[in-house]
Amino acid sequence: MMRPGKWRQPWRWGLLAAILVAYVQVGFLSGVLWWKYFNPSNTAFMEAGLARLQEKRPGAELRHQWVDYGRISVHLKRAVVAAEDGRFLEHEGFDWEGVEAALQKNIRKGRVVAGGSTISQQLAKNLFLSPSRNPLRKAQEAVITVMIETLWSKRRILEVYLNVIEWGNGIYGAEAAARRYFRTSATGLGPGEAALLAAMIPNPRYYETHRGAPGLLKRKAVIERRMWQVSIPK
């Protein structure tokens, strides 16, 4: 029989918390290992997006179709890396130079206008976590990022990323985006089309209906200039 007050001792709660944390990490690790070999058909962000759509339209469905890395336009690969993570092939999950540059830019502007998240960090968040910005979620994102970078190739990271990120209301992945905006396949995207899709990534639901927004077009032009300077996985 448990003695009264046994679980009031702080170290017991610490042990319980450690066990729960370890259990959660094993679950994430299992997912990372599984998706190294099998293509995700659903993610945490997709589930959140579907729930949001079905609040207004109960019968709503997501638009998503997996397409292998070799069938995604090289222009889109270059554009997305140029837009989101120019040192993608060089870092191991975290671009500390990018974080410092983003921080300095935010200080100059007096508000948050830039982030320093890499493609790997964004993928960790999209696959497993909620869109919230609390410190615990950021810590978990970092742990999952290390798992992904350790166990997956850069090619696999970019392949999954391009297939699961949001590109509008209920639109996920390069194939669905290419068909929604340009009536073509992910293979058929040209440089300008790819740059526009990459420019949409920070705020895809807004830009879906504001494709003439000055900020979007300015960002597209910058990406078009940069996309030829980046390296991508073969």
Q: Any residues with CB less than 8 A from the CB of 117 and at least 6 apart, and which? A: 125
Pairwise pLDDT comparison (17 vs 208), residue with the higher score: 208
What pLDDT was estimated at residue 5? 55
How many angstroms separate the CA atoms of 199 and 204, rounded? Answer: 9
The mean per-residue pLDDT over the stretch 185-195 comes to 98
What domains are defined for the chain? 44-57+65-226 (1.10.3810.10)
- Rounded mean pLDDT of 209-213? 96
Predicted confidence (pLDDT) per residue in 136-157, tens digit = 888 899 999 999 999 999 999 9
Q: Which pLDDT value is given to residue 42?
A: 95
CA distances from 54 to 27, 48, 185 (A): 28, 10, 27
Residue 51 clears pLDDT 70, i.e. is over it: yes
Q: Report how far residue 61's alpha carbon sits from residue 63's, in angstroms, rounded to the nearest whole number.
A: 7
Residue 109 pLDDT grade (very low, low, confident, very high; cuts 50, 70, 90) = low
Task: For the beta carbon of residue 173, count every other beta carbon within 10 angstroms.
Answer: 25
> What is the model's pTM?
0.86
Identify the helix (H) or strand (E) that includes residue 17. Answer: helix 10-37
Average pLDDT, rounded, for the chain:
88
181, 196 Cβ separation under 8 angstroms: yes
d(CA 62, CA 163): 13
Q: In this predicted structure, what is the pLDDT of residue 7?
A: 47
23-46 pLDDT, tens per residue? 567 789 999 999 999 999 999 999
Q: Report long-range pairs for 94-99 (Cβ below 8 Å, ≥24 apart).
A: 94/118, 94/121, 94/142, 94/145
Judged against a pLDDT cut of 80, whether residue 108 lies above it is answered with: no
pLDDT tens digits, 55-107: 999 999 999 999 999 999 999 999 999 999 999 999 999 998 866 665 666 55
- What's the rounded mean pLDDT across residues 163-192? 98
